[in-house]
Amino acid sequence: MKLLVIGCGRVGSAVAREFQAEGWDVVAVDEKEEALTRLGAGWSGGFVIGHGMDSEILRRAGVDEADAVVVATNGDNTNLVIGQVVRKRYGIEHVVVRVLDPARADFYAKRGMQTVSPTQTAISELAARVRVAGKALA
């Protein structure tokens, strides 16, 4: 199975490493060469320097053969656009997009995109913990 990870920051690099450890063929894409160091010394997967909006970069990263794509750059709108482009142009069904803004994550989730909002996760988790604390005090 082949996974493309676009945006190799803290989130992207960890996802890339996890799937590589599970035996997937993983290619990471990032604008900055330094991002390669986040993948660790033992990284044997692919790494392409460039912007995920650039079709040539996507082609070099092997988008044509990708089974799944994770889009996790530091820009919500960049992620949403790249996510839609890889789905629509390359017909990749499994595209997961990181969107910090819960409102936009929800908007695009309702339109069929797989969005993950770390902010919404934090809100829900914090609220749940406070509720537990509240019950303990009651």
Partner 1 sequence: MYTIVAGGGKVGANVARSLLRMGHEVTLVEQRPLRFERLQEEFEHQVLLGDATELHILELAGIGRPPQLVLAATGDDEDNLIICQLAREGYRVPKVVARVNDPRNQEHFDLLGIAQTVCATSNILGLVEHEVPEHGIVHLLELRKENLEIVELQIDRDSPAAGKRLAGLTLPVGARLISVMRNGRSELAESSTVLRPGDQVLAVLEPGKEDELKRLLLKR
Site string for partner 1, 47-66 (x = CB under 8 A): ------xxx-----------
Nearer to partner 1, 1 or 103 (CB): 103
Residues 96 and 74: their CA atoms lie apart, in Å, by 14
Nearer to partner 1, 43 or 120 (CB): 120
* Interface of this chain with partner 1, residues 16 to 45, rule: CB under 8 A: none
Q: What is the size of the binding site for partner 1 (CB under 8 A)?
A: 18
Site string for partner 1, 86-105 (x = CB under 8 A): --xx-----------x-xx-
Nearer to partner 1, 122 or 133 (CB): 122
Secondary structure (H, E, C), the chain = CEEEEECCCHHHHHHHHHHHHCCCEEEEEECCHHHHHHHCCCCCCEEEECCCCCHHHHHHCCHHHCCEEEECCCCHHHHHHHHHHHHHHHCCCEEEEECCCHHHHHHHHCCCCEEECHHHHHHHHHHHHHHHHHHHHC
* Binding flag, residue 81, partner 1 (CB under 8 A): yes
Residues in the site for partner 1, rule: CB under 8 A? 53-55, 75-78, 80-81, 84-85, 88-89, 101, 103-104, 107, 111
